[in-house]
Amino acid sequence: MKQKFFSITVAVFAFALMSAGVAKDVIKYSKGTAIVNTSSIVKARGFQGKTPVKIYIKGNKITKIESLPNQETPSVYANAEEVLKKFIGKTVNEASTMKVDGVSGATYSSKALIENVKGGLKYYNDNK
């Protein structure tokens, strides 16, 4: 009985430590702008792997979205990045509920980018 209690306690403590470590690196603030890094919170995958982004939010509006290093084919990924422009200037709530189509010829990458943005915005809303 004591062993089971100890194991559960250790597991809960380890989970709490991991969660705290993720949270401190996800949202950073600079000059009134929140910067959300989706690298550790969204597991969306393009054709070759993860497609993380940084989302810049000021005054509850998205001012910029920056792609982070990834393994996608550069020319295909450049086409997919066009979907990011659709979120610029939108409020966090507007962008969170937008329906955005993937880019033909870059479907996996563009859908992964959309999922990254929406996941980052959800995290921002839940943790700001």
Confidence bin at 24 (pLDDT 50/70/90): low
Which of 82, 65, 67 is CA-nearest to residue 121? 65
> Could you give all domains of the chain from N- to C-terminal order, each with its CATH number?
25-127 (3.90.1010)
pLDDT digits (tens, 9 = 90+) for 90-115: 999 999 999 999 888 899 999 999 99
> Quick one: how far is CA 115 from the chain centroid?
8
Instruction: Give 110-123 as a DSSP string.
Output: HHHHHHHHHHHHHH
Instruction: Give 55-103 as a DSSP string.
Output: EEEETTEEEEEEEPP--S-HHHHHHHGGGGGGGTT-BHHHHHH---PPP
